[in-house]
C-alpha cells in the first residue's frame, strides 16, 4: 500500500510540474511576442518620422539625410529609410514639396 501512495504522489507531482512548465512556457512566448511587436511598431514609427523629416527638408533625388537613428534617401517618388540596425523601410511619397511648387 505504501508503494502505491508514493507512486501516486510522484505521478501527481510530475503532472503538476508539467502543467506549471506549460503555463510558464506559454507566458514566456506571449510576452516575447508582445515585446517583439512593440519593437516593430517603434521602428516603424521612427522610420515614418524620418520620412516626414526628409519630406519637410525637401530632399532632392539621391540626396541623403542622416539622423542618429539611421538615414533617409530620396529615390524619385520613394523615400528609403535605413535604420542603424540595418532594417530598411520604403515609403511611397506622392508629392514632395518641390513638386507641389511647380
26-74 pLDDT per residue, tens:
999 999 999 999 999 999 999 999 999 998 888 888 889 999 999 999 9
How many domains are contained in the chain?
1
Residue 101's pLDDT is 53
Report whether 95 contacts 58 (CB < 8 A): no
Residue 9 cell numbers, joined? 504522489
Q: Model-level pTM?
A: 0.70
Helices within 57-96 (DSSP H only): none
3-state secondary structure at position 87: coil
What is the extent of the structural domain holding 20?
A: 2-101
Amino acid at each position: 500500500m505504501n508503494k502505491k501512495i508514493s507512486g501516486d504522489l510522484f505521478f501527481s507531482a510530475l503532472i503538476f510540474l508539467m502543467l506549471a512548465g506549460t503555463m510558464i512556457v506559454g507566458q514566456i512566448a506571449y510576452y516575447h511576442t508582445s515585446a517583439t511587436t512593440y519593437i516593430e511598431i517603434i521602428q516603424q514609427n521612427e522610420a515614418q518620422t524620418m520620412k516626414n523629416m526628409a519630406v519637410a527638408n525637401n530632399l532632392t533625388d539621391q540626396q541623403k539625410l542622416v539622423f542618429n537613428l539611421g538615414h533617409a534617401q530620396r529615390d524619385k517618388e520613394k523615400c528609403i529609410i535605413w535604420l542603424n540596425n540595418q532594417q530598411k523601410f520604403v515609403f511611397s511619397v506622392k508629392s514632395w514639396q518641390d513638386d507641389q511648387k511647380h
